[in-house]
Amino acid sequence: MSNDDNTASVTWAKGMDAKAFLTALAAQADRDRPLAFVGRRPVLDLAKHCIGNIPVSGPANRARALRNPPGQTLLIQGPPGAGKSALLYEIEAWTNSQPDSVSTQVDRDLLARRESLLSLISAELRDAPEEAPGDSVSKAQGGNAGFALLKGRWSRTSTKSEPVPTSVAALERRHGKALHQRRLILLIDEIQDVSPEGARTLNMLHTQTTLPVMAVCAGTGDSQGALGQPGGVSRWGANAVVNLAGLAPSEALQCARQTLHKVVGTPTTPRIQGHHAIETWAEQLAEASRGWPQHLHNYLASLWKALSAQEQPDLSRAPLEETLAQGDVARRSYYDQRMERFLGYEGVVAAVHQGLATAHGGILPKGEVINIIGEFKQRLPEHTQTAFDRRFEDVIDFAEALLKSGMVANAPNGGGWASPIPSLTDYVLDQGSAGLEP
Ligand X SMILES: Nc1ncnc2c1ncn2[C@@H]1O[C@H](COP(=O)(O)OP(=O)(O)OP(=O)(O)O)[C@@H](O)[C@H]1O
**Binding residues for Mg ion, per CB under 5 A?**
85
Strands laid side by side in the 363-364 sheet: 363-364, 417-418, 409-410
Considering the complex, state which of residue 85 and residue 224 has its C-beta at the smaller distance from Mg ion. 85
Q: Report the run of H or E that residue 73 belongs to, with start and end.
A: none
Segments in 379-409 forming alpha helices (H): 382-391, 395-405
Residue 82 makes contact with ligand X by CB under 6 A: yes
Strands laid side by side in the 183-188 sheet: 101-105, 183-188, 213-219, 74-77, 241-243
| Residue 424 contacts which entry, ligand X, Mg ion, none (Cβ below 5-8 A, type-dependent) | none
Residue 41 makes contact with ligand X by CB under 6 A: no
Residue from 10, 6, 19, 35 nearest 271 by CA? 19
Rounded to whole angstroms, the Cα distance separating 307 from 320 reads 11
Rounded to whole angstroms, the Cα distance separating 367 from 355 reads 12
DSSP-based three-state secondary structure for 307: helix
Position of minimal CB gap to ligand X: 83
What binding mask, one character per residue, do residues 152-191 give for ligand X by CB under 6 A, x or -? ----------------------------------------
| Residue 180 contacts which entry, ligand X, Mg ion, none (Cβ below 5-8 A, type-dependent) | none
Residue 334 makes contact with ligand X by CB under 6 A: no
What binding mask, one character per residue, do residues 204-243 give for ligand X by CB under 6 A, x or -? ----------------x-----------------------
Rounded to whole angstroms, the Cα distance separating 156 from 136 reads 16
Residue from 401, 408, 417, 409 nearest 350 by CA? 408
Residue 78 makes contact with ligand X by CB under 6 A: yes
Residue 257 makes contact with ligand X by CB under 6 A: no
Contact partners, residue 309, CB within 8 Å, separation at least 6: none
List binders of ligand X among 103-132 (CB under 6 A): none
Near ligand X by CB under 6 A: residue from 294, 302, 354, 425: 294
Burial status of residue 107 (CB atoms within 10 A of its CB: 0-12, 13-18, 19 or more): middle
Near ligand X by CB under 6 A: residue from 58, 70, 83, 291: 83
CA 151 to chain centre: 27
Choices 35-43, 270-278, 343-351, 429-437; region in contact with ligand X by CB under 6 A: 35-43
CA dihedral for 47, 53, 57, 61, sign (positive or negative): negative
Considering the complex, state which of residue 85 and residue 122 has its C-beta at the smaller distance from Mg ion. 85
Position of minimal CB gap to Mg ion: 85
Near ligand X by CB under 6 A: residue from 1, 10, 26, 40: 40
Cβ–Cβ under 8 Å, residues 420 and 406? yes
Q: How far apart are CB 223 and Mg ion at their closest, in Å?
A: 12
Residue 30 makes contact with ligand X by CB under 6 A: yes
| Residue 435 contacts which entry, ligand X, Mg ion, none (Cβ below 5-8 A, type-dependent) | none
Q: Report the run of H or E that residue 278 belongs to, with start and end.
A: helix 278-289
Near ligand X by CB under 6 A: residue from 81, 246, 313, 416: 81
Residue 327 makes contact with ligand X by CB under 6 A: no
Interface ranges with ligand X (CB under 6 A): 30-31, 34, 36-40, 78, 80-86, 220, 255, 293-294, 297
